[in-house]
Amino acid sequence: MYRRIVMLRIWNVIVCLACAVNAISQSDNARRTIRVGPNIQVSKDRANVPHTEVVLAADPADSQRLLAASMLRYEGSEDQCIVYLSTDGGASWKTVLEPGVRAEIRGVKRAADPAVSFGPKGTAYFVMLAAESRLQYHYAVVFRSADSGLTWSEPTHVHQPTRIDRPYITVDQTGGKYHGQVYCNAVVLTDPLPGTGGTSADGLPQGGLGIFFSSDGGRSFSEPVLQRVRMANQPHAPRATGNSVVLSDGTVVMLYNFVENPLRREDRTYWLGVERSVDGGRSLEPASPSQGERPPRGRAIPQSKFIGKTQYGVGLECLAVDSSSGPRRDWLYAVWAEHDGTRNRVMISISTDKGLTWSTPTLVSDSAEAGAAGNYRGAFMPEVAVNKDGVVGVSWYDTRDAAGPDAGWDVRFTASSDGGKTWEPSVRVSETSSIFTTAMQTTFGRRIGPGDTAGLAASADGAFYPLWIDHRTQTPQVWTARITLGQSLR
């Protein structure tokens, strides 16, 4: 009898210890867990219209307000753009701007490459490309909202060169000398040269990186300040420009990439770098020493801070700044997709000195699994954002969970609370995998697939919101989810 009582007590102790260990484990998991909320369809208003290439901004003054934009394509027409607004933390969305149906934009045959940003005092901005024909005479137009995205002004033409590509927009909210100033950056091809049709003698287009500024709240814009990128004696525009950010002292930092020789289209090698303006977009600063692998000697590459060399992957690069009051304030984080010859993977480089020098790129995506075949294999189209606590979040499209005969993609997310030194195991965000189609793997197939960009923003309360395209309804639609972090990640 005594032995039975002793054994029972020992068993009770074991059970209690197990419960305690489990409770501690659950408590630790609760502190560390990346919590993903339900998937929310942003584009319900246009549920039967294919969407592609999304962007997202969070209002730093209102944790419930989010602004999303996307390209869309009506049957039998060219690309157009649309803007959606949420005032309840992403739980519901409504259409607030569809430029293609407005009288002042009618006649534009193509609208593309949307971007959005919030400014001070309830302002919001939307920029897109507009074109009078499919591939010629692209120009950027900016719409302004004075009521945090509810209603929108007539458009302002930023600039009308021969062609402009992939504009982005950002606003200075530092409270400093350039507070409220609006910046638009893009690849700008300049007016045609006599007898060349807008190209140099070797057939390469004339142009470079361009930055425009507006000191009247987006009602008018300056002429572009151009940074020409010259490889040998071949002036040409960079392959693409990423977004720009504003540091606490008002410095504007613009991310971009370019190829060594644009005539060698089969060469997948390209270079990443940044340009900086310290005078409100009126000039791009002179050359300075730079860390990171530089292009080959003998090439005349002026005034750039190089991150390094990489292999072309799917999706444009993305830049984020830590605007918190923490110890890593003004740290910069650049992410991109690199193709290693087999699959895409997500890389990151970090600058702790406001973009002058950059760390050796390191891997963010955490799976060697591939899944889909072709250009989309692996992890691609990354986005990066930093929340109010200085936590860095990265999202991307990923093929690991959608392998097999119907290969496809999901969206994944990870976070770092130590400035990118270590990363949490990534979590799946999308509840349903999207299937690749044969058409998407063609040159222009991205127009009916994910596009060139996804979205990621950190709201004023510290939550992250990825924005993506998926096919769960059989029509490419825009989706989001609210992601919150455990205690140890705050």
- pLDDT greater than 70 at residue 269: yes
Assess whether 85 and 1 both reside in one domain. no
Least reliable range by pLDDT among 124-133, 193-202, 424-433, 453-462: 193-202
Which pair of tokens denotes residue 216?
Answer: 């009247």
370 contacts: CB under 8 Å, gap ≥ 6: 342, 343, 377, 378, 399, 400, 403
| Residue 258 forms part of a structural domain | yes
- pLDDT greater than 80 at residue 146: yes
Cross-strand partners of 171: 182
Assess whether 320 and 355 both reside in one domain. yes
Assess whether 23 and 44 both reside in one domain. no
Per-residue pLDDT, 300: 38
Per-residue pLDDT, 349: 95
Least reliable range by pLDDT among 12-21, 176-185, 352-361, 465-474: 12-21
Number of structural domains, the chain? 2
- pLDDT greater than 80 at residue 449: no
- pLDDT greater than 90 at residue 485: yes
Write down the mean pLDDT value for the chain.
Answer: 81
Element (H, E) at 410: strand 408-416
Assess whether 326 and 309 both reside in one domain. yes
Question: Which one has a higher pLDDT value, 297 or 138?
Answer: 138
| Residue 328 forms part of a structural domain | yes
Which pair of tokens denotes residue 283?
Answer: 């000039």
Whether the CB-CB separation of 57 and 90 falls below 8 Å is answered with: no
Q: What tens digit of pLDDT does each residue of 83-111 get? A: 999 999 999 999 999 987 654 555 566 78
Q: Global pTM?
A: 0.87
Closest by Cα among 397, 422, 415 to 479: 397
Question: Which one has a higher pLDDT value, 407 or 440?
Answer: 407
The C-alpha atoms of residue 7 and residue 12 are separated, in whole angstroms, by: 9
| Residue 155 forms part of a structural domain | no
312 pLDDT tier (thresholds 50, 70, 90): confident
Least reliable range by pLDDT among 112-116, 237-241, 361-365, 430-434: 237-241
Question: Which one has a higher pLDDT value, 293 or 70?
Answer: 70
- pLDDT greater than 50 at residue 348: yes
| Residue 3 forms part of a structural domain | yes
CATH of the domain at 79: 2.120.10
Mean pLDDT of 323-340: 95
Range 25-34, long-range pairs (CB < 8 A, 24+ positions): 29/486, 30/486, 30/487, 31/486, 31/487, 31/488, 32/424, 32/486, 32/487, 32/488, 32/489, 33/485, 33/486, 34/413, 34/414, 34/415, 34/424, 34/427, 34/483, 34/485, 34/486, 34/489
Assess whether 407 and 372 both reside in one domain. yes
Least reliable range by pLDDT among 215-224, 337-346, 393-402: 337-346
| Residue 177 forms part of a structural domain | no
Share above pLDDT 70 across residues of the chain, in percent, rounded to a whole number = 72
Assess whether 23 and 53 both reside in one domain. no
Question: Which one has a higher pLDDT value, 6 or 111?
Answer: 111
Least reliable range by pLDDT among 34-43, 326-335, 384-393, 396-405: 396-405
Closest by Cα among 343, 396, 375 to 443: 375
Per-residue pLDDT, 306: 72
- pLDDT greater than 60 at residue 330: yes
Q: What tens digit of pLDDT does each residue of 15-30 get? A: 454 444 443 333 344 4
Question: Which one has a higher pLDDT value, 343 or 375?
Answer: 343
Per-residue pLDDT, 286: 61
Assess whether 462 and 414 both reside in one domain. yes
Cross-strand partners of 269: 311
| Residue 471 forms part of a structural domain | yes
Whether the CB-CB separation of 471 and 435 falls below 8 Å is answered with: yes
Per-residue pLDDT, 440: 59
Whether the CB-CB separation of 385 and 459 falls below 8 Å is answered with: no
Per-residue pLDDT, 371: 57
Least reliable range by pLDDT among 73-87, 103-117, 161-175, 224-238: 224-238
Assess whether 371 and 340 both reside in one domain. yes
The C-alpha atoms of residue 268 and residue 275 are separated, in whole angstroms, by: 22
3-class DSSP string for 322-334: CCCCCCCCCCEEE
- pLDDT greater than 50 at residue 483: yes
Per-residue pLDDT, 131: 77
Domain that holds residue 15: 1-32
Assess whether 42 and 9 both reside in one domain. no
Backbone φ, ψ for residue 256 (5° rounding): -160, 170
What is the number of residues in the chain? 490
Question: Which one has a higher pLDDT value, 205 or 482?
Answer: 482
- pLDDT greater than 70 at residue 248: yes
Question: Which one has a higher pLDDT value, 278 or 299?
Answer: 278
Per-residue pLDDT, 265: 61
Question: How many C-beta neighbours within 10 Å does residue 462 have?
Answer: 17
The C-alpha atoms of residue 135 and residue 198 are separated, in whole angstroms, by: 14
